[in-house]
Amino acid sequence: MQLQALGLIEMRSGLRARARNTTAIKWREHGPVSRLYARQVRQEFLQSPFSGAIEALHFRSSELSEASCRVLLRKLERLATEFRDLAELDRSLPSRDKRSMGMLLATRPWVFSMFESLRRAEP
């Protein structure tokens, strides 16, 4: 009953219990596991040609105002939340009806290294 009180299990009929867990894994920011995972993601995830029926990779580069950057960040956060919500909805489906999916959302100030030397100095 202590595990139920802590919200770690859900009691079912016949004294059966089900572990309550979230699909989201969150490691300590900048911790050793987080760094290892990030390095592995960079090495493996982007190796795909992203040409399959349920694959996509979109990369765009442009100049944006600070206001547009903030709007973009809010939209990315909403999309990440929707991804988590869909995973939670599908959690109870049998494994045979699901696919393990990864999603990379990233945005940052960036200039392609070949163009960096060509940039004009800001006055």
Q: Provide the terminal-to-terminal Cα distance of the chain, rounded to the nearest Å.
A: 67
Closest by alpha carbon to 77, among 56, 54, 106?
Answer: 106
Domain-wise residue ranges, the chain:
65-91
Instruction: Work out the pLDDT band at 74, boundaries 50, 70, 90.
Output: very high
What is the per-residue pLDDT for 27? 72
Residue type, 9: I
Distance from C-alpha of 52 to C-alpha of 47, rounded to nearest angstrom: 13
Mean pLDDT of 20-38: 74
What is the per-residue pLDDT for 1? 60
Q: pTM (2 decimals)?
A: 0.64
Instruction: Work out the pLDDT band at 113, boundaries 50, 70, 90.
Output: confident
Alpha helices for 91-120 (secondary structure H): 113-116
